[in-house]
Amino acid sequence: MQDLKLNIQLQVHENLYLKHPESSKLGKRIIKAGIDLIYEVGFEDFNFRKLAQSINTSEASIYRYFESKVKMLLYLTNWYWSWNEYRLAFLLANISNAKEKLKRSIQLITEEVENDGAFEHINEAKLHQIVALDSPKAYLNKQVDSINEEGAFLKYKNFVDRISELVLELNPNYLYPHMLISTVIEGAHMQRHFAAHLPRLTDQVKGKDAVADFYEEIVFKAIETTK
């Protein structure tokens, strides 16, 4: 799977960058260091001055790629969902059973992500944490409509669409497939965060992945009650 990843070019909406960071060594360094820095200090304390210092370049060189740190976050988020869309397609290849496809999809969107080294300039585990903690800032704000018009959330919406279609394969009469899947994705992010920092707000079961098991139960019970 790693070799296949290395041979693909994940698509990110062109409105999210000024110069494609994948097009140069500096651009890839900016992405790698940006992920490391946001992961370390958080998006609020992240800025291009700190990023430039971390890779010994100028702020101006970073602004050639991204017009703002918000656009950089949107780029990273877009890349993340494009990567997950690819992972989903790979995971479901040659699987014909609808229930098994949905079970595997739920596992994908609720599991803890590990870095596999497939992309030299992107640590997927760190990026997952950034998306979980910081990507909601991109759509829980007053500018969400204009940001959406730029195509910033298209990859996320496509990803939710694909898994929602699997829900409807099992139960064409289910009325809330997108609501269900987006709730699972966002909820799993939150429950992982609670487990790490606020454990009294969640449940942990010895020997089990409580988050994955919980959301699988939620999804299938929701689908079955409306058949």
DSSP string for the chain: -HHHHHT------GGG-SS-GGGSHHHHHHHHHHHHHHHHH-TTT--HHHHHHHTT--HHHHHTT-SSHHHHHHHHHHHHHHHHHHHHHHHHTT---HHHHHHHHHHHHHSPP---SSSTT--HHHHHHHHHHHTHHHHSSTTHHHHHHTTTTHHHHHHHHHHHHHHHHH-TT-S-HHHHHHHHHHHHHHHHHHHHH-GGGS---TTS-HHHHHHHHHHHHHHHTT-
Contacts of the segment 95-103: beta carbons below 8 A, 24+ positions apart: 98/166, 98/169, 98/170, 99/170, 101/166, 101/169, 102/163, 102/166, 102/167, 102/169, 102/170, 102/219, 102/220, 103/216
The pTM for the full model equals 0.92
Confidence of residue 227 (pLDDT cuts 50, 70, 90): low
Contact assessment for residue 186 and residue 217, using Cβ atoms and an 8 Å cutoff:
no
Sketch out the chain's domains with CATH numbers. Answer: 2-224 (1.10.357.10)
Mean pLDDT of the chain: 93
Sign of CA dihedral 198, 203, 209, 211: negative
| pLDDT for 1 beyond 50 | no
Residue type, 172: P
CA distances from 15 to 9, 79, 115, 226 (A): 17, 13, 27, 40
pLDDT tens, residue by residue, 140-198: 889 999 999 999 999 999 999 999 999 999 999 999 999 999 999 999 999 999 999 99
The pLDDT score that the predictor gives to residue 33 is 98
Predicted local distance difference test score (pLDDT) of residue 2: 45
What is residue 115's predicted lDDT score, i.e. its pLDDT? 85
What's the pLDDT tens digit per position in 30-71? 999 999 999 999 999 999 999 999 999 999 999 999 999 999
Listed in sequence order, the residues at least 6 apart from 66 whose beta carbon sits closer than 8 Å to its beta carbon are 17, 18, 30, 48, 72, 75
pLDDT at 3: 44
Q: Which residue has the tokens 């949107």?
A: 74
